[in-house]
Amino acid sequence: MSTATHQEDEEPMAPLIVDCDTGIDDALALLYLLRDPAVDLRAVTTVFGNVDAATAADNTLRVLELAGRADIPVAVGARSNWRGTVDLAPHVHGADGLGDVGLPAPSATPVAEPAAELIVRTARENPGNLHLLAVGPLTNLATALLLEPELPRLVSHVTIMGGAVHHPGNVTPVAEANIHNDPEAADIVLRAGWDVTLVPLDVTMAEALTESAQRRLVDAGTAISSFAARILDHYLGFYERDVFGVRRAACHDPLAAGIAVGDVALETAPVVDVVVETGEGPARGATIADTRGQYRGYPAREGAHVRVVLRTAGGFADRLVDRLCAPEAAEHVA
């Protein structure tokens, strides 16, 4: 995967499916992608996580319609993890997952095809070319692997927002929410042998959205920037109350989106082995990455296939706000 940033006037990129649990940062990530004409977003699949899978699909449809892209299919996926349990996050994203700001209901509805089946079908139709961006629990991707064991050969790359390598977890001392919500599925996905870029808390917590970003969004005065400012207000409130003590929010899913489409320069991103702790103890959900090679320049271990992003060049939050503040005339009209 190239670490160079792409230019928005280049040829369209490889087809992309986003697998998400659409809360606030997922919505910002989707809007970031939708406002790049080079991004070929073929579908969005949803999973439980920030909200339940059906609400995530409804939220996704609302965001797509706001951006003028109601043509993009949305498929509902896993409603619980492989153990049949669900742990949602209304305290972070609001009761509706979008900061309770009242974004209008969509005119479109989800497609009938289940998420994992849509992923497999699209991969078969685009062999060796499809990029998957997963910013929620990995249950849909693990299910797709069971449906099609050849999926790692059919998919060109997988970018995952999840895990914590050297950084503390955000749901336990060692575990990040997306991985902790379904450790068994995450372990299957990370061991599958396809090319993966893992975007953990190590870098997403370092990219900050602040009150000045919110003010810029308000001042831009477009429908998209205004919506982004309102949901960011809720997100800043959570981070002030429960995490940082100041109005400064982490840039989780949007950073993963930026990395997936080549907009972020990676300064430290070794290709290593990664496993997930699936036991019952306090380390459940931990992402264990072998970064011992850092002292000799991170030579890729034979068979390693997970690029773990540990440091970027920074400044992505400004790029995100620039994109969301762009004139709406630049939007795609379906």
Q: What are the CA-CA distances from residue 98 to residues 63, 196, 321 (Å)?
A: 10, 29, 18
How far, in Å, CA of 102 to CA of 328, rounded? 21
Which of 58, 252, 263, 305 is labelled catalytic? Answer: 252
Active site residue 252: yes
Q: Using CA of residue 44, residue 48, residue 50, residue 51, what is the dihedral sign?
A: positive
Active site residue 21: yes
Which of 19, 21, 36, 233 is labelled catalytic? Answer: 21
Active site residues: 21, 252
